[in-house]
Amino acid sequence: MTLCFLGGVEAHCVPAVEEALADLRFGALDLDVGDLLFLPAHGPKRVVALELVDHGGALSALQAGVSHALAERRLYTPGKRPFLPHVTVARYRRPGPPFSLQNVNVPRFGVSQMVLYSSVLERAAAVHTPMAVFIAS
């Protein structure tokens, strides 16, 4: 799941991002998988995702904290749309129609760390490389 997409951040700013995230304190999260989503909500669908059920709002609070910490340092500009907790399952090369997905049974799971990734778009797919890990307290 993505808390804040930092696609426009220059490489020389990465230490400042790491510092901002290191200052955050967060607890472990318990999440459930919710509904199947086809995104964007309006227009041609390009993403298949599973909604994450944010019990008590802890995930949304973490996302808001990350967003604020990065925006305060001018490393991120928050988007206009509200945070939608989800996990991307697949992407369409060309827009595709929604479909049904059956027998998806994912038990409640815990999230105990946050990872800063570098993402490089290659011809076949994006390559994600962990750059820093932040452990829940």
Tens-digit pLDDT profile for residues 108-123: 999 999 999 998 888 8
Global pTM value: 0.87
Over residues 24-46, the pLDDT tens digits come to: 999 999 999 998 999 998 988 88
Q: Give residue 22's pLDDT.
A: 96
Over residues 51-83, the pLDDT tens digits come to: 999 989 999 999 999 999 999 999 999 989 999
Around Cβ 21, how many Cβ atoms within 10 Å? 22
CA separation for the pair 36, 39 (Å, rounded): 10
Q: Higher model confidence: residue 15 or residue 91? A: 15
Look at residue 101 and tell me whether its pLDDT is greater than 80.
Answer: no
Task: Return phi, psi of residue 101, to 5°.
Answer: -130, 120
- In a domain, residue 18? The reply is yes
Give the structural domain span for 125: 11-29+52-80+105-135
Q: Give residue 53's pLDDT.
A: 95
- In a domain, residue 36? The reply is no
Measured torsion, CA atoms of residues 82, 85, 88, 94, in degrees rounded to the nearest 10:
-20
- In a domain, residue 66? The reply is yes
Q: Which helix (H) or strand (E) holds 126?
A: strand 126-135
Residue type for 81, please? R
- In a domain, residue 1? The reply is no
CA separation for the pair 62, 40 (Å, rounded): 23
Residue pair 130/31 in contact (Cβ under 8 Å)? The answer is: no
Radius of gyration of the chain (CA): 16
- In a domain, residue 109? The reply is yes
Question: Is the N-terminal amide bond of 82 cis, ω within 30° of 0?
Answer: no
CA separation for the pair 18, 84 (Å, rounded): 23
- In a domain, residue 56? The reply is yes
- In a domain, residue 5? The reply is no
How many structural domains comprise the chain? 1
